Structure 1
Amino acid sequence: MSLAATLDPADLRHRIWYGVVPMQIVLAPDECTSFDNVEPFYINVPRISYIPLHFASITGYFRPYLRSSEFAESVEWWLDFEGVPLRWNWPVGLLYDLYTGLDPTQAENLDYDSHLPWTVVLHHSNFPIDTLLRLRSLQDVTDHWVNSVKEADFIRRGNANTVMNLSKADSNDMWAGVEGHDFDKFWTVARKLLPSDPLSLRHIPIKIYLPSSNKVLQSVVSPSLSPREPHTLGTALHTHLPELFPSRRTCLLARPLLHGVVLSMSIPLAELLYECMYTDGYLHICIAMIS
């Protein structure tokens, strides 16, 4: 499927906000006191959310089976998918799109749904400090998100004054919208950070994630190529990843994904940002190879 340009922007934002990843959480055997298999925990996690915000529900379920009940109160848990540790500071939807490597255009194939629910393993011991940032408290999640919001604002405008000048109430409401998955609370504040004219932006906050790799491409991308020609996703990918996107109009070797949807190469980047950015202000775009 392609991102429908005819959707009302408010409707598009709602669809993105309420998208979820069905997850099956399996407790790692070395964290369990029982020799019998512990039933997995099932949860629908919002795509725009972060894993640690759901640890209380997850560890509360597994509390009776943990080697130490004190572990249930800890946030120093981590998840892996097929042996790969999942970064707690990346949105859940990004993690799913990147590490499953699924091509949504193949959704009609019987094997496509084999990753749903998305099965991941829950660990407390042997924290992979060489791969993941250490998580000491939920405040770390808040702090990382705030820093990303400021960074995105700096990229958009050349400074972070708009974010820095938010009232304390607005700043708190914006994060509370993310933490509590409250669309109105988040977007009431977030829309204040975006100029009325997308083409007035200095640059587009965008990160591109390559398949089967830890490489993240973050380049300076302007909203327009010239006064009359907006920068599209296709022109940006052709410029910065010509080996995967030899054409600026057609996907020949790979496809760009955002929020689990294949994007049209003709979408203007500035418009895409305004309607489809993650809560940290970035476009997190995954690349899926065409099989």
Structure 2
Amino acid sequence: MADDKDVLRDVWFGRIPTCFILNQDEVTEREAEPYYLLLPRVSYLTLVTDKVKKHFHKVVRTDDVEEMWLEYEGTPLKWHYPIGVLFDLHASNTVLPWSITVHFKNFPDRDLLHCPSNSVIEAHFMSSIKEADALKHKSQVVNDMQKKDHKQLWMGLQNDGNDKHFGHQSLRSGSLSYKCVTLF
């Protein structure tokens, strides 16, 4: 059986080969070439899609560009779910690369939250970490972390899981036991 540290490393450094394709209705200047990336499972789509946006801006009229959003087989992909979770929910049984459609028009307000900046993503990420810590350790770990530790954790996510920022030692340590979670 795999050691927890090995499993954590596999999750942290896991990648999903992905092909981004511009929605046919939005091609205006010339045919858009697909764009390929290896996406980190633990990151968020909005953190890794700047290159995708730049690639497709070349073929879309500037007047037509609104907020970029992504979908897989007709389902809008929620930016606030980690990429690995989105893949497992929607496409784990598909042939790789994962084919995601890119849109710049008709943002689905009823299905997706707007994401105006990376600070929104950071706040969501830290909130998720705090929730998990509250369930696992009654908030002991995150409350004991300093602001610089929070920033280090966030930088690790932004910098594509760089080994220097591989999680945070106190979140990975096995020194604290799991607390019981009551299910109603």
Normalising TM by the smaller chain, what interval?
A: 0.7 to 0.9
CA drift at 1:168: 1.4
Query: 111, 114, 123: which is aligned to 2:103?
Result: 123
What do the CA deviations read for 1:33-79 (whole angstroms, capped 9, x no partner)? 23x531110111011111001121111112211211894xx7x3211
CA drift at 1:131: 1.2
Q: Which amino acid aligns with 2:52?
A: I
Misfit runs of 4+, over 6 Å? none
Match runs of 1:8-19 below 5 Å: 8-19=3-14
SS in 1 for 2:145: coil
Structure 1: gaps of 5 or more residues: 103-113, 205-219, 222-239, 241-291
Aligned to 2:149: 170
What do the CA deviations read for 1:68-108 (whole angstroms, capped 9, x no partner)? 1894xx7x321101100011111111111111252xxxxxx
Q: Which amino acid aligns with 1:25?
A: F
Counterpart CA distance in 2 for 1:57 and 1:69 is 20
CA contact 2:20–2:99 (8 Å) conserved in 1: yes
CA drift at 1:24: 0.7
Aligned to 1:192: 170
Counterpart CA distance in 2 for 1:91 and 1:21 is 12
CA drift at 1:133: 1.3
What do the CA deviations read for 1:239-269 (whole angstroms, capped 9, x no partner)? x9xxxxxxxxxxxxxxxxxxxxxxxxxxxxx
CA drift at 1:194: 5.4
TM-score by length of 2: 0.87
Percentage identity across paired residues of the two chains = 31
Q: Structure 1 residues 69, 19: closer, same or farther in 2, change over 3 A?
A: farther
Asked if residue 33 in structure 1 is aligned to residue 28 in structure 2, the reply is yes
Match runs of 1:1-291 below 5 Å: 5=1, 7-34=2-29, 36-68=30-62, 71=65, 76-102=67-93, 115-158=95-138, 160-181=139-160, 182-187=162-167, 189=168, 191-193=169-171, 196-197=174-175, 200-203=177-180, 220=182
What do the CA deviations read for 1:253-286 (whole angstroms, capped 9, x no partner)? xxxxxxxxxxxxxxxxxxxxxxxxxxxxxxxxxx
CA drift at 1:195: 6.0
CA contact 1:176–1:186 (8 Å) conserved in 2: no
Counterpart CA distance in 1 for 2:23 and 2:40 is 23
Counterpart CA distance in 2 for 1:31 and 1:164 is 47
Counterpart CA distance in 2 for 1:186 and 1:169 is 15
SS in 2 for 1:39: coil
Q: Which amino acid aligns with 2:105?
A: S
TM-score by length of 1: 0.57
Counterpart CA distance in 2 for 1:141 and 1:30 is 29
Aligned to 1:105: none
Q: Structure 1 residues 56, 155: closer, same or farther in 2, change over 3 A?
A: same
CA drift at 1:169: 1.1
Which is richer in helix? Answer: 2
Corresponding residue pairs, total: 183
Counterpart CA distance in 2 for 1:78 and 1:9 is 35
SS in 2 for 1:95: helix
SS in 1 for 2:99: strand
CA contact 1:175–1:186 (8 Å) conserved in 2: no
Q: Structure 1 residues 66, 16: closer, same or farther in 2, change over 3 A?
A: same
CA drift at 1:152: 1.0
SS in 1 for 2:58: helix
Query: Cα RMSD (Å) of the superposition?
Result: 2.4
